[in-house]
Amino acid sequence: MKRLIDIEFHKFKYSKSSKVLTIIYLVIVFALMFVGLYEVPFKGAKASLSDLGIFDFPYIWHLSPYILSFLKFLIAIVIVSLTASEYSNRTLKQNLIDGLSKKELVLSKFYLVVALALVVTLLVFLVCLFLGYLYSDITEFNLVFRDVEYVGAFFLSHLTFFAFCLFAGILVKRSAFALGLIGIWCIFELLTFLFTSHIDLRFGYGIWDVLRDILPMSSISNLIVEPFTKVSLVKNGWETLSQSEFEKDYSVRWINVLVCLGWTTLFTFWSYRLLKRRDL
């Protein structure tokens, strides 16, 4: 295992796209961190985003992972290009000839995917901790780490998505087309959502309620429910508008966790099967 990680890290370290995109990712993360510091004039006084309470514990554990999980598309580019360029440079073939088995090859890529998901999760954890302590008055351990489960969901959503990218890269062999495939799949799920919810509304079925817990992209995005309506300002506004109490389950649902783990396993296994059956 150490050898495989070592091999994959060597490839990652000396790849141009990985360097560039890592830097872009970090820059965006740090830029977002300091958005809270930005103060805007508001009714004669100065107000900043932090005054909304969005950087407070435990809300920060929900908000930051949700916002930052949109950035996984950047890392997806790295994974897809690292995988697909192994085909276009024919280094995949050479790796096999040099003595890496097909199983080891997929495993080494999978370890990279896990490692990247872990690294960004650690990053988001530190960012939350930092912002929370910076803006929040709460320092009690139990309160600080309440709702930290969203960080776990953040990890899983990245892991599953990266495994999907790995599979797409191996399936399509060209990075641009593989990214296209991921995009098309997202659109497909969106259209499925529109179509089924239309039918559901019309005939009173619950097709989308089932599908949204099965389709990979939908499962990934449902891992972390949007946090905006949790903010009292937004919530109160909504309740005033609709004249009813607003209730929503924000927790990480077990069905999503299980389905995401299932997809991760399937994508990795399919990548192996595909590679094994192919002549290079």
Partner 1 sequence: METILEINDLHKKYGNLTAVDHISFTIEKGHVYGILGPNGSGKSTTLGMVLSVVNPTSGNYSWFDGTTTTHQALKRIGAIIERPNFYPSMSAVQNLKLVCKIKEIDYSKVEEKLELVDLLSRKHSPFKTYSLGMKQRLAIASALLNDPEILILDEPTNGLDPQGIRQIRDIIQKIAATGTTILLASHLLDEVEKVCSHVIVLRKGQMLYSGPVDEMNNNHGSIVIDAPNRDDLFAFINNQNYAGSIEKLADGFEVILIKDVDNSQINKDAFDQGIHLSTLFHKKQSLEDQFIELTNQL
For 39, residues 6+ apart whose C-beta sits below 8 A from its C-beta are: 46, 47, 48
The minimum distance between CB 9 and partner 1, in angstroms, equals 10
Task: Using CB under 8 A, pick the residue from 100, 148, 186, 261 that binds partner 1.
Answer: 100
Task: Locate 93 and state its tokens.
Answer: 């073939």
The minimum distance between CB 79 and partner 1, in angstroms, equals 16
The minimum distance between CB 191 and partner 1, in angstroms, equals 35
Q: Which of residues 9-38 bind partner 1 (CB under 8 A)?
A: 10-11, 14-16
Select from 43-51, 69-77, 92-100, 117-125 the region that touches partner 1 (CB under 8 A). 92-100
Do the beta carbons of residue 131 and residue 36 sit within 8 Å? yes
Give the whole-angstrom CA distance, residue 246 versus residue 20.
43
Select from 99-107, 135-143, 145-153, 229-237 the region that touches partner 1 (CB under 8 A). 99-107
Phi and psi torsions of 50, nearest 5°: -65, -20
The minimum distance between CB 20 and partner 1, in angstroms, equals 11
Residue 97 in the binding site for partner 1 (CB under 8 A) = yes
Q: Which of residues 239-278 bind partner 1 (CB under 8 A)?
A: 277
The minimum distance between CB 102 and partner 1, in angstroms, equals 8
- The label of the residue with tokens 């495994």 reads 163
Select from 33-41, 89-97, 122-130, 214-222 the region that touches partner 1 (CB under 8 A). 89-97
Residues in touch with partner 1 (CB under 8 A): 3, 6-7, 10-11, 14-16, 89-91, 93-102, 277, 279-280
